[in-house]
Amino acid sequence: MSEYSLENLDTPSGDGLPASASSSIVSQETVSQETMTGAEIFVRALDAQGVKYVFGHPGGAVIKIYDEIARIQPRFKHILVRHEQGGTHMAEGYAKATGRVGTVLVTSGPGATNTVTGIADAYMDSVPIVVFTGQVPTHLIGNDAFQETDIIGVTRSITKHSFQVKRVQDLTRTIKEAYHIAKTGRPGPVVVDLPKDILFAEDTFRYPEGVALRGYSTQVNIVETQIALAARMISESKKPLLYVGGGTLNSDAAEELTAFARKTKIPVTTTLHGLSSFPENDPLSLGMLGMHGTWYANQAVQNCDLIIAVGARFDDRVTGKLDAWAPHARVVHIDIDPSCISKNIPVECPILGNVKDVLDMLGPLVEEKDTAEWLGQIDVWREECPLAYEKDDRLRAQGVIEKLREKTDGNAVVVSDVGQHQMWTAQYFKYVHPRSHITSGGLGTMGFCLPAAIGAAFGLRLEGRDDVPVISISGDGGFVMNAQEMSVAAAHRLPIKIIVINNRFLGMVRQWQELFHENRYSHTDLTDTNPDFVKLAEANHVVGLRASTPKELDEAIEKAWSINDGPVLIECQVEKEEMVFPMVPAGAATGDMITERFSHDHDV
């Protein structure tokens, strides 16, 4: 089968919604008495599971599945990715934008190992994805056969769980369990390894209705006395602070959180993944905390007398030096993962449970608080040291982000890569809609952004929210790491606005070299080696634009927003040596923030 005909299958028709039932010959049946191959069972199982998109790449070990996709035309759409890593990030972006489980299908050996970075990323950031990997036939496993890799072994410490299907009779049950595990509890990646002979073996089809996993329970009984304790701690506090992480978005609790904060008048600071769970135009919002958080958020942390951690994990980029973090705060911690609670900081009031359920129970028990004095203090800090950068006629990355915010009024899904631009995107966009900010946080995967934006765009298309623009914001270093996926965006006419913040440097590493390594810019200058991004875009059937002044940026944005039937890339040639401030140096106490450039002899 040629790649071409697969691509044709994927070409969007009309609104690009998933193939309608009438164009599919696969019925919604979950039981069939006729025997069929494992590959057909696999394809039917994904339909029965309700999968809408599969991000995949064919190869020898999974060729039978691709054959069945062509033959029976399932209801899900297969998206041909150009590199398996791109496929995993697409699945992540899709999952983060919609709350659904992302699906990846790759072949054995290199196909499988190429997914490793994406799996690790999903593991660190609790993203529900299921990765199906091909495998050599069972009788060849362990023989160093062609394209054989022990992918279960390779991914053991970066998956929530993994399966190798040894009998065709176990196939549907395994698929059901994989999706269940990926989605429930603290979400995460699941790998399902499919030996080739299983895909050729025959069986009848039966998709199970439920799962029976005796070692895995999703039942959480929220302890009422803990809720009461939390309510009491809140009423006793004078200077409370909500510290909100990605778990809030994972449990779709942004609305509950916002109502809770507004009722109690408790200020809110969010982690990188917590961004967009609380509207940043609300006076209670302090923006992000931590290494590149706002000065006032970190001041609030260091001075508050109560921290209510909501779906957050006290990551080292948030806390800096643990011993010195929030020295006066009693801590309430709400999380779904028991191993997260008291892992880094022992907490006085742990509450195990889904954020949404816990807030539903806690909300009615807390009174409206008078936090005026505390909020007044925070406002003083806000004025003392606001987020700021030099504003002149030169194009700066922060200005690009603010311009995009102004253009969209916050009504966009913003996907960022890793590095300086990521921090500016976190600081300056001011998110107001839940799930409108997607990035690679825990693993810090350069190259994440573009494929994740593609996955998010498919997610919005599925939900009929095509009018919400997806903005992919990368640096020049990270963008080239998965630039090949531009052709996927072009093939499916996804109207993604691809912004490349080009400072001709690996900027964040450069920043550390300037601050901590005496300006030795070892291998971070890309001036002579960067591609021509406009030409790169055009070579991938993407409209390419360039801006090097604020005025050119305005024009480029106007033009980009007038194109709605495909992706547009804007290369923003920005100031070379801009720094992300404020900053808590790695391992330093949160109170010790650097707020501006200093000379080298400064005592760090």
| Contact (CB, 8 A) for 415 and 456 | yes
Report the alpha-carbon angle 436-438-441, nearest 5.
Answer: 145
Least distance (Å) between residue 169 CB and another protein: 15
191 phi, psi to nearest 5 deg: -105, 135
Of 138, 141, 166, 490, the one binding another protein by CB under 8 A = 166
Q: Annotated catalytic residue: which of 73, 147, 169, 484?
A: 147
The number of C-alpha atoms within 13 Å of 404 and in the hemisphere containing its C-beta is 31
Clarify whether 427 is annotated catalytic.
Answer: no
Q: Which residues touch 64 (CB under 8 Å, ≥6 apart)?
A: 37, 38, 39, 196, 199, 200
Of 89, 161, 461, 504, the one binding another protein by CB under 8 A = 161
Clarify whether 3 is annotated catalytic.
Answer: no
| Contact (CB, 8 A) for 568 and 542 | yes
Alpha carbon 124 to chain centroid, angstroms? 10
Residues 267-326 that bind another protein (CB under 8 A): 323, 326
Q: How many residues bind another protein (CB under 8 A)?
A: 28
Residues 128-157 that bind another protein (CB under 8 A): 152-153, 156-157
Comparing CB distances to another protein, the nearer of 343 and 465 is 343
Comparing CB distances to another protein, the nearer of 345 and 509 is 345
Report the alpha-carbon angle 297-302-304, nearest 5.
Answer: 85
Least distance (Å) between residue 281 CB and another protein: 32
Query: Distance (Å, rounded) from C-alpha 257 to C-alpha 291?
Result: 24
Comparing CB distances to another protein, the nearer of 19 and 222 is 222
Q: Output the 3-class SS for 474-533.
A: EEHHHHHHHHHHHHHHHHCCCCEEEEEEECCECHHHHHHHHHHCCCCCCCCECCCCCCCH
Q: Exposed, middle or buried by CB within 10 Å (0-12, 13-18, 19+), for 499?
A: buried
Residues 317-356 that bind another protein (CB under 8 A): 323, 326-330, 337-339, 342-343, 345-346, 348
Residues 174-233 that bind another protein (CB under 8 A): 181, 213-216
Work out whether 14 is an interface residue with another protein (CB under 8 A).
no
Of 100, 160, 421, 435, the one binding another protein by CB under 8 A = 160
Radius of gyration of the chain (CA): 25
Clarify whether 196 is annotated catalytic.
Answer: yes
Clarify whether 147 is annotated catalytic.
Answer: yes
SS3 545: strand
Least distance (Å) between residue 157 CB and another protein: 4
Comparing CB distances to another protein, the nearer of 166 and 430 is 166
Of 85, 115, 126, 164, the one binding another protein by CB under 8 A = 164
Least distance (Å) between residue 156 CB and another protein: 5
Q: Annotated catalytic residue: which of 42, 55, 68, 84?
A: 84
Comparing CB distances to another protein, the nearer of 167 and 391 is 167
Q: Annotated catalytic residue: which of 508, 513, 571, 573?
A: 508
Comparing CB distances to another protein, the nearer of 253 and 329 is 329
| Contact (CB, 8 A) for 469 and 438 | no
Q: Annotated catalytic residue: which of 1, 28, 146, 576?
A: 146
Q: Output the 3-class SS for 236-285.
A: HCCCEEEEECCHHHHCCCHHHHHHHHHHHCCCEEECCCCCCCCCCCCCCE
Least distance (Å) between residue 71 CB and another protein: 31
Query: Distance (Å, rounded) from C-alpha 166 to C-alpha 208?
Result: 18
Query: Distance (Å, rounded) from C-alpha 505 to C-alpha 230?
Result: 47
Least distance (Å) between residue 602 CB and another protein: 24
Of 98, 103, 117, 162, the one binding another protein by CB under 8 A = 162
Least distance (Å) between residue 143 CB and another protein: 18
Quote helix, strand, coil % in the chain, to nearest 5: 40, 15, 40
Comparing CB distances to another protein, the nearer of 152 and 579 is 152
For the record, the structure tokens of 503 come out as: 């400072």
Angstrom CA distances, 485 to 120, 207, 448, 488, 532, stand at 20, 34, 11, 5, 17
Comparing CB distances to another protein, the nearer of 154 and 401 is 154
Least distance (Å) between residue 120 CB and another protein: 12
CB atoms within 10 A of CB 319: 21
Least distance (Å) between residue 424 CB and another protein: 33
Comparing CB distances to another protein, the nearer of 89 and 160 is 160
Comparing CB distances to another protein, the nearer of 332 and 450 is 332
Least distance (Å) between residue 227 CB and another protein: 20
Q: Which residues touch 147 (CB under 8 Å, ≥6 apart)?
A: 59, 60, 61, 107, 108, 109, 110, 111, 136
> β-strands 31-37, 202-206: how paired?
antiparallel
Query: Distance (Å, rounded) from C-alpha 449 to C-alpha 458?
Result: 14
SS3 54: strand
* Structure letter (DSSP) for residue 186: S
Comparing CB distances to another protein, the nearer of 191 and 460 is 191
Angstrom CA distances, 601 to 184, 579, 597, stand at 51, 18, 12
Least distance (Å) between residue 161 CB and another protein: 4
Q: Annotated catalytic residue: which of 96, 176, 196, 403?
A: 196
358 phi, psi to nearest 5 deg: -65, -45
Least distance (Å) between residue 322 CB and another protein: 9
Clarify whether 463 is annotated catalytic.
Answer: no
Comparing CB distances to another protein, the nearer of 68 and 177 is 177
Query: Distance (Å, rounded) from C-alpha 526 to C-alpha 508?
Result: 13
Active site residues: 84, 146-147, 196, 508
Name the site residues for another protein (rule: CB under 8 A): 152-153, 156-157, 160-162, 164, 166, 181, 213-216, 323, 326-330, 337-339, 342-343, 345-346, 348
